[in-house]
Structures are given as structure tokens and as C-alpha cells.
Amino acid sequence: MRPFHLAFPVTDLVSTKSFYIDVLNCQVGRSSEHWIDFDMFGHQVVAHLVDQADHPSTNSVDGDDVPASHFGVILTMDQWHLLKDRLISHNIDFIIEPKIRFKGEAGEQATMFFLDPSGNALEFKAFKDDSSIFAK
């Protein structure tokens, strides 16, 4: 599988850099005074400085109000638990607490949602069985 690239808006590069390095444990790639490349679990995500970030509403998924705009990585279950513990140790406020979604159904997954310093919603998840990532 090839790494994906995602660019997203942020309103403060200093707090963004600190969050993605110190909390999410990302490495920094290239950067300028207007953007920063991060290595997020082998994927290239780029924070672009903007004056104001726009964040749309939510959709209901399995009883939760999921931010319509969000991104993240599908981790192994062990990586997911390590990140969950890391986030808790950094006192991150979850907008959807770590939980198991679709329990006993196709696509059963561990999931959690939280915001970065600019209000971008992040979801990190892990599947009980990776072969069910696209299960119907």
C-alpha cells in the first residue's frame, strides 16, 4: 500500500507543530513559515496556515455525532491502545471517547475522535479484523 497525502488548514503553526510532534508522536518533514509536513504513521499530512478554519457539522454514526470533516489513520489494535493511552496522558479532550463501534457486526472497530489545536477533527481507529475494513 502506498502512503496517502492530505493537506488541512490550521490557524497556528506553533501549537500545531507541538501537538502533532508531542502528542501524536509525528516526525516533521519539510516546512516553511506557512506550512509543515508531518510523517503520520508513514503518511504525509501537511498543515497549511490559514486565517480562519471552517469546520462543518456532524453526521450520526452508530449513535455518535461524527464530525463530517475528519481524518486519521487505521492502526493495529496494539497501536490504537498505545495512542489512546498517550492521548489520555496528555489530557486530550475526546469529542467521541475511545470505544468499540459496530460490536459484533461487520466492520467492528475501536475508534476515538479528538481535535487538534486548530479544531480539525481526527479519528484514529483499529479493526478487530483488517479484512473487514470495507465490509458491508
Query: Cβ atoms within 10 A of the Cβ of 41, count?
Result: 17
pLDDT value of position 131: 87
Q: Give the whole-angstrom CA distance, residue 86 versus residue 34.
A: 28
Cell numbers that stand for 86 in this block: 498517550
Contact 10, 16 (CB under 8 A): yes
3-state secondary structure of 109: strand
pLDDT value of position 55: 66
Cell numbers that stand for 5 in this block: 497525502
pLDDT value of position 56: 66
Per-residue model confidence as pLDDT tens digits over 108-129: 999 999 999 999 999 999 998 8
Mean pLDDT per 10-residue section of the chain, whose length is 136 residues: 90 96 96 93 93 75 86 95 98 97 90 95 93 83
Q: Nearest 5 degrees, angle CA 26-CA 73-CA 99?
A: 110
pLDDT value of position 105: 87
Write out the DSSP string of 24-64: T-PEEEEE-SSEEEEEETTEEEEEEE-S------EEEETTE
Contact 124, 111 (CB under 8 A): yes
Cell numbers that stand for 43 in this block: 503518511
Domains and CATH numbers, the chain: 5-49 (3.10.180.10), 58-132 (3.10.180.10)
pLDDT value of position 29: 94
